[in-house]
Amino acid sequence: MEKRRIAIIGTGGISHFHAAAFCAEKERCEIVALCDLFTEKCVALAQEYHLNSDTLTITDDYTTLLDRSDIDSVSICLPPSLHSEVTVAFLNHGKNVLCEKPMAASLAEADCMIDAEKKSGKLLGIISQNRFRDGAWKVKQMLSSGVLGKVLMTRVNSMWYRGMNYYNLWWRGTWEKEGGGCTLNHAVHQIDMLNWFIGMPKSLISVNMNVAHTNSEVEDCGMSILQYPHALAELNVSLNDMDEKQGFFFQCEHAEITVPWSVHCKKQLPNGFYEPDPESEKKFQKMYDHLEGVKGTEGHDALIKNYLDALEGKERLVVTSEDGRHALELIYSIYKSATTHHMVTLPMEESDDFYHKETLLKKVPHFYEKSVSIENAEGSISVGNMEKEK
């Protein structure tokens, strides 16, 4: 089988996860092009992963790659405001695309991407690598099977820590370039997984603030209550948590389970109080232990393997463009509620001011004005506790 030839657009910190994953599949794919405004970053990435200098193209202009017939698939690792433009361009030129989270910087942009995917007949995948963790993978199976009964209430903690200088990078901390704050660019992981676990809510109410990052227009913490037909969910997001505790808590009819994994069961007594139920806990623990986890590797490696398998018709794509859109719809509904101080119902209509970037920018608050802006950031990407869970 001829190898798929890959281009990576944007060679900042997140691109290293893509490069490593594609290199791990070197029997069926090869990275043949790197693009970044700072081409020295392309050179460093190529050297780190020992890419073939004889066949590798390095460029600072992605449009020079659009007509390359030898490029099959493209990984987009750019700031969110560029995701739609670049993705649509490559889809329209017959390339498959894998785009980093968040899918886009507005719901309208996401719909443009999906429209281009449908018209091109190519595959658009969205990064949500935390679905590909054993704990999440098994909990998804348990929730879907119905063995736990109905989900009654869910609590989601998306806790991160980023210092003040995190927002010094030119595109971060602005509504126009980043598209939002920690709800969009950090909690998107948990929001996508929440939709995957229990589906989309019918309404929500939210509060956002910026309590510690004075070089950022956007929020650094927020709380939301989501309403489902027969359940509630609580979503907490922050960039100020020094322990970076992330997780899901599902109160179900027959047990409470969590990600990272734990299980707790109670027996109801005649007076309405309870006693421990260790037998039920053992039963659910045995179920969990016998479920199949993610095959082989986890995280970006597993997601990109699934993407390649989907291109070859071996598996269905786990994180689709529609999944990426659903996460954005929930996120921009949160921004609408936090801005208007009202409950918001879903789905969001195309006529909504928060559907379009141009009208959204006129509505959202600027918590602070960005005063420091640098072209290039140093240091590797840190990940939260749940991303490191094995």
Q: What is the pLDDT of residues 75-106, one digit of tens each?
A: 999 999 999 999 999 999 999 999 999 999 99
At 388 the pLDDT is 59
Q: Give the alpha-carbon dihedral of 333, 339, 344, 349, to 10 degrees.
A: -50
Is pLDDT at 390 greater than 60 in this prediction?
A: no
Give the sheet arrangement for strand 4-9, strand by strand.
Answer: 57-59, 29-35, 4-9, 73-76, 96-99, 124-126
H or E element that contains 339:
helix 321-340
Q: Answer whether CATH 3.40.50.10470 is correct for domain 131-292+325-388.
A: no
Which residue would you say has higher pLDDT here, 1 or 131? Answer: 131
Indicate if 131-292+325-388 has the same CATH topology as 4-130+298-317: no
Give the type of residue at 319: V
Q: Are strands 73-76 and 96-99 parallel, antiparallel or unpaired?
A: parallel
pLDDT one-digit tens code per residue, 63-77: 999 999 999 999 999
Phi, psi of 96 (to 5 degrees): -75, 150
Give the type of residue at 345: T
Give me the architecture of the 4-130+298-317 domain, per CATH: 3-Layer(aba) Sandwich (3.40)
Mean pLDDT calculated for residue range 223-236: 98
Rounded CA-CA distance 125/138 in Å is 22
Rounded CA-CA distance 170/152 in Å is 43
pLDDT one-digit tens code per residue, 316-360: 999 999 999 999 999 999 999 999 999 999 999 999 999 999 999
Give the type of residue at 123: L
At 387 the pLDDT is 62
Residue-range domain boundaries for the chain = 4-130+298-317, 131-292+325-388
